[in-house]
Amino acid sequence: MALDTYVTSRLIQWADWRARRLDGGRGYPKKCAFVINPGGGHWSPEMDSNCYEVDQVVVALIQERKDALMKCYTETGTKEQKAKRCGCSVRTYDLRLEMAHRDVLGYLNDVAAGIPLPVVKVETADRFFTMEV
């Protein structure tokens, strides 16, 4: 499985941004895969908007691929552990991750071309509603 380095670097940056955001913006993520030196770095407006863009793309993915990306980039553990948490085999986890990378690259290309992201349908206990991402 050869993953696109551009997409991988954007997703690593997004995972770090997401961990900092979930930590209240203090700059010290509790846990995040690929973050070797967690600490209070400076975030530029371009980085914030780039990460927000990736966040919107991840939200637009189908659930299985979104889960694979979330496990890969935002959680710690071995590939086997992450596949188990996704409820699938390692081979299936790898395939979902590869397809998610392709989807992210496609969506980022669409965003760069000015094409809006698809509308996500969210199911609640009693009704559906749509949300543009």
pLDDT tens column, 80-127? 999 999 999 999 999 999 999 999 999 999 988 998 877 665 555 555
pLDDT digits (tens, 9 = 90+) for 34-70: 544 444 555 454 567 888 889 888 988 999 999 999 9
Q: Is 124 exposed, middle or buried (0-12, 13-18, 19+ CB in 10 A)?
A: exposed
Q: Please provide residue 97's backbone torsions phi and psi, each rounded to the nearest 5 degrees.
A: -65, -45
Residue among 50, 49, 70, 48 at smallest CA distance from 59: 70
pTM for the model stands at 0.72
Distances (CA, A) of 87 to 31, 68, 77, 81, 84: 21, 10, 15, 10, 5
CA distance 61 to 58: 5
pLDDT at 129 over 50: no
Structure-block tokens of residue 42: 């400076």
